[in-house]
């Protein structure tokens, strides 16, 4: 039986023109191919500047590839941007909450775009805020919340639309380690519960090893240099070997930084 494929990159490249310069365009993603099956959580690991966010933007439909093909649930994220409304949850490094909206109105945003009635969307938003431990903070504005709490709001916002696909770009790297650890565990539990397909981007080897059942290590420009699969019952020795393999690839590849 073949697994259902939810995300496909087929020989994708992305170049950025250098404005006002005769130099050739800068290639951030180079001939990148991978596929993610339904329910799978793929971790993309790479150094700063290797093209992770560019890949993320290609996935979420904010950029179109210079060449190659991106398909998410069989659709083109850039060309069919509206089709994806409410089907994808996105969590960025910086929470990107709307500062003029309260916590509950931020969480309800995706439901509002999906044209759900106000009372229903506020009910759903409120239960997600409670689930993320923010009961009582529904009417707080983002500036009144700590970084960890704001990231909790953005997790609630991502899950409120019941997404089939969850995309995370370094969601915890701006938080202190303990807060990050707690939120990561909660996010993984929610992902597991909802069965969503996930792509989780990080520059941290430790985080990649904690999150992923599958780790794709990027070189610069973005392309897969190494791939590993982890199993819960894997021995410490086998894990150490994977870590060493990852380190070899990252040490041998000089991204900026």
Ligand X SMILES: Nc1ncnc2c1ncn2[C@@H]1O[C@H](COP(=O)(O)OP(=O)(O)O)[C@@H](O)[C@H]1O
Residue 77 as a binder of ligand X (CB under 6 A): the answer is: no
- For residues 31 and 55, the answer to whether their CB atoms sit within 8 Å is no
DSSP assignments along 27-54, one per residue: EEEEEEEEEEETT-EEEEE--TTSSHHH
Residue 49 as a binder of ligand X (CB under 6 A): the answer is: yes
Q: Residue for token digits 């529904």?
A: 138
What minimum distance in Å lies between the beta carbon of 6 and ligand X? Answer: 22
Closest CA to 6 of 72, 60, 59, 58: 72
Looking at the Cβ atoms of 111 and 201, the one nearer to Mg ion is 201
Paired tokens of 221: 């420009």
Residue 171 as a binder of ligand X (CB under 6 A): the answer is: no
**Residue from the set 7, 13, 34, 46 that interacts with ligand X by CB under 6 A:** 46
What minimum distance in Å lies between the beta carbon of 87 and Mg ion? Answer: 23
Binding-residue total with ligand X (CB under 6 A): 11
**Piece of the chain touching Mg ion by CB under 5 A; list 45-53, 68-76, 109-117, 146-154:** 45-53
**Residue from the set 12, 29, 34, 53 that interacts with Mg ion by CB under 5 A:** 53
What minimum distance in Å lies between the beta carbon of 178 and ligand X? Answer: 24
What minimum distance in Å lies between the beta carbon of 212 and Mg ion? Answer: 17
CA–CA gap between residue 19 and residue 218 (Å, rounded): 27
Residue 26 as a binder of ligand X (CB under 6 A): the answer is: yes
CA–CA gap between residue 76 and residue 14 (Å, rounded): 15
What minimum distance in Å lies between the beta carbon of 180 and Mg ion? Answer: 16
With 0-12 CB in 10 A as exposed, 13-18 as middle and 19+ as buried, what is 78? middle
Binding site for ligand X (CB under 6 A): 16, 26, 28, 46, 48-54
């Amino acid at each position: 039986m073949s697994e259902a494929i939810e995300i496909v990159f087929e020989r994708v490249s992305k170049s950025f023109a250098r404005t006002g310069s005769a130099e050739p365009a800068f290639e951030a993603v180079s001939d990148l191919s991978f596929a993610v099956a339904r329910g799978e959580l793929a971790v993309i690991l790479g150094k700063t500047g290797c093209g992770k966010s560019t890949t993320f933007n290609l996935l979420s439909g904010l950029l179109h590839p210079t060449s190659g093909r991106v398909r998410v649930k069989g659709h083109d994220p850039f060309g069919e941007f509206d089709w994806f409304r409410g089907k994808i949850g996105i969590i960025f490094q910086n929470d990107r909450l709307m500062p003029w909206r309260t916590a509950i109105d931020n969480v309800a945003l995706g439901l509002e775009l999906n044209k759900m009635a106000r009372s229903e969307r506020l009910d759903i938003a409120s239960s997600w805020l409670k689930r993320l431990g923010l009961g009582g903070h529904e009417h707080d504005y983002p500036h009144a919340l700590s970084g960890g709490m704001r990231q909790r709001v953005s997790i609630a916002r991502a899950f409120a639309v019941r997404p089939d696909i969850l995309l995370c770009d370094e969601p915890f790297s701006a938080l202190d380690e303990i807060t990050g650890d707690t939120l990561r565990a909660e996010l993984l539990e929610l992902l597991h519960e909802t069965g969503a397909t996930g792509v989780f981007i990080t520059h941290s080897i430790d985080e990649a090893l904690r999150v992923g059942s599958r780790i794709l290590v990027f070189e610069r420009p973005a392309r897969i240099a190494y791939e590993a699969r982890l199993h819960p019952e894997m021995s410490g020795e086998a894990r150490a070997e994977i870590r060493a393999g990852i380190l070899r690839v990252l040490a041998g590849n000089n991204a900026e930084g």
